[in-house]
Amino acid sequence: MALCLGQVFSKDKTFRPRKRFEPGTQRFELYKRAQASLKSGLDLRKVVQLPNGESINDWIAVHVVDFFNRINLIYGTVSEFCSERTCPVMSGGPRYEYRWQDGDHYKKPTKLPALHYMNLLMDWIESLINNENIFPTRVGVPFPKNFQQVCKKILSRLFRVFVHVYIHHFDSICNMGAEAHVNTCYKHYYYFISEFSLIDHTELEPLCCVSALFSLRARARAHGQRRTLVVLVVLVVLVVLVVLVVLVVLVESSVPRVRLSFRCV
C-alpha cells in the first residue's frame, strides 16, 4: 500500500522552512486549486495547464514556491546521506558537475560539496521568493518585468537537485519506499516546465531517460484509453444492431400473414 507523503517525508527533515501562501489571497486560492487537482488523480499534463481567466505569472509563482517546498522536503530526507565524504562535488554522475555562482560571495563558478551547494541554493531561492519586489503578495502590486526570467533560473537550479537525488541517492529513496512520490514530483515539475517552456531542453539532458520514460508511459496510457474507447464504441454499435435485428424479427412475427389464392378461370 502506498504511503502518504507525510509518512514518507518527515517534516522535521525539511531542509528549509516551508514557504506558505497567505490565506485569502488569490495565490492561496490558486494553490488550493492546484493541490485539489493533484489529489483528484487527473492527468498531470492537464493539471499544469493555466486555468481560464488566471494570470500566468500568478500561476508560475504558485508552482515555483510549491516546487521549492516539495524539492526541499525531498532533499531534506536524503541530506543525512549527502556529506562532504559521500558527495565531495555537486554533480550528477561523472558527466555533469554543477558549480555555484551568485554574483555576491561567489563571483566565479565555484566547485563545492553537494551539501554546501544545496545550502547556498536553498538560501538563494528563499531570499528571492521572500522578496516582495520579485514575488509580490499584496493585491494590485505588479510582477517585475524580469519575473519569468528569475523563475526560469530558480527552476533550472532546482532541476539540479533532482539530478543529484536521482543519480546519487535514489537507492536511499527506494529504501524508504518513497520512489513513487519522487517520481510524481519530478513528473509534475517536468510537465509544468514543458507546458510553459521554462527551461531549455538541453539542460534536461541528465534525466532525459527518466523524462522519456514518463512520456512513453503517458502516450501508452493515452493509446490504451483510445483503444478502450474504440472497443466500447464497437460494442455499442453491435448491441444496437442486435437490438434492431430483434425488433425487426418481433415486428415480422406479429404481423398476420395474408395468404393469397389464385383460381384459374
Which residues are part of a known binding site? 82, 87, 164, 169
d(CA 64, CA 19): 11
Cβ count near 10 (within 10 Å): 12
How far is residue 50 CA from its own chain's centroid?
14
d(CA 65, CA 117): 19
In one-letter notation, the amino acid at residue 218 is: A
Contacts of 181 (CB under 8 A, 6+ apart): 5, 8, 9, 74
Q: Which residues are annotated as a binding site for Zn(2+)?
A: 82, 87, 164, 169
The residue assigned the cell 378461370 is: 265
Is residue 5 within 8 A of residue 181, CB to CB? The reply is: yes
Q: Is 110 helix (H, G, I), strand (E, B) or coil?
A: strand
Sign, Cα dihedral of 161, 186, 209, 180: positive
The half-sphere exposure of 173 on its side-chain side, counting CA atoms within 13 A, is: 20
d(CA 38, CA 180): 14
